[in-house]
Structure 1
């Protein structure tokens, strides 16, 4: 009986040691390269973004969770003149295009490697993203808003750099489906940050 109790205690201790990484919280700086219709509206790469992500490990190889993010695309179009609707004159000024994007995603990830070591992973997110499209000409601006369904497959890696701290980097392909009067939107996301055991 004593041997059985000792064995059970040892197994519990071993499990706790090998599966210490149960929950992580990640903060990432997000950069992006627009594609397709997103690139047609704002051609420049974006260096204005961030992601907050929570992951819960259901076993040592798989996690589920959620992520919240923000990305701003911006392009200066130069000094332009456009005709007002109804042929009621023209307006001239410095022209800017912006897309502000706020994704809310449920996530799933599958991990390679062993806990405590470098952990490459693959995964995906699915959810909704709020897009704000702005065309500004001088002091006048036209703003459109739309929710899109969005998916984001990704590959990444968690690299331990200290006790319960990881370097977290990944690449995502973000695709927002056509919605309302707005075309599908797409961009590559490049993220780097820190993740912490909870």
Structure 2
């Protein structure tokens, strides 16, 4: 399922690039995404995650403004300090599990992005932006041989700020922060630290 979603997003990005190849210019980003869980997400998996990767395609309508798509994956993990108990319903019966507990949260965003660049021709190019779309949030608990899983597609928004620092012709260093907020009965919230490269062509 995760691979299918990523493939659809990549094909969409490639398709947009083909359609718009004769207009404006395009940008492809590859970002490393260390991430801090927040709110209810932190209650379930509280540890800072160093396991995140994001890709973006942006089409520049003008020097100050781009629109595009973003996707990727960030994973969070936490193990309990000792034996935990959890009651689940199986075949209509309540079953109590007692074992060391492992909590996992994996998140795949699929966002439409708009980004405004304050100084697009400067040596340091600050930007602000907003992503809107869906977050595929996978949460599960493992205890012994049992796994309790809950997958949801949730609507969310992702405001971002950052800077681009040109390195050479068409290549720039990208440093930024992105706040993720997905809504629902189990909301997802996190703060991503973007460190990556952007290619303009």
Give the TM-score taking structure 1 as reference length.
0.82
Aligned with 2:30 (options 1, 12, 27): 27
Q: What aligned pairs does 1:38-187 form with structure 2 within 5 A after superposition?
A: 38-82=41-85, 84-85=87-88, 90-115=96-121, 117-178=123-184, 182-187=185-190
Kindly state the Cα deviation for residue 77 of structure 1 after the two structures are TM-superposed.
Answer: 1.0
Q: Is the contact between residue 156 and residue 169 of structure 1 (CA under 8 Å) also seen in structure 2?
A: yes
Task: Give the equivalent residue in structure 2 for 1:188.
Answer: 191
Task: Give the number of equivalent residue pairs.
Answer: 175
For structure 1, list consecutive stretches of 5 or more residues without a partner in the other structure: 1-20
- Counterpart position of 2:15: none
Structure 1 CA distance, aligned partners of 2:119 and 2:98? 58
How much does 1:93 deviate? 2.5
> Hey, what's the Cα distance between the residues in 1 that align with 2:38 and 2:139?
15
Distance in structure 1 (CA, Å) of the matches to 2:191 and 2:94: 40
- The answer for the alignment partner of 2:10 in structure 1 is none
C-alpha displacement of 1:83: 5.2
Query: How big is each residue's C-alpha offset from its partner over 1:153-193, in whole Å with a ceiling of 9 and x where there is no partner?
Result: 00011111112110011101100011xxx321111111101
In structure 2, do the counterparts of structure 1 residues 80 and 116 end up closer, same or farther at CA, with 3 Å as the change threshold?
Answer: same
Any runs of at least 4 consecutive aligned residues in structure 1 with deviations exceeding 4 A, and if so which? 83-90
Is the Cα–Cα contact under 8 Å of residues 158 and 168 in structure 1 kept in the other structure?
A: yes
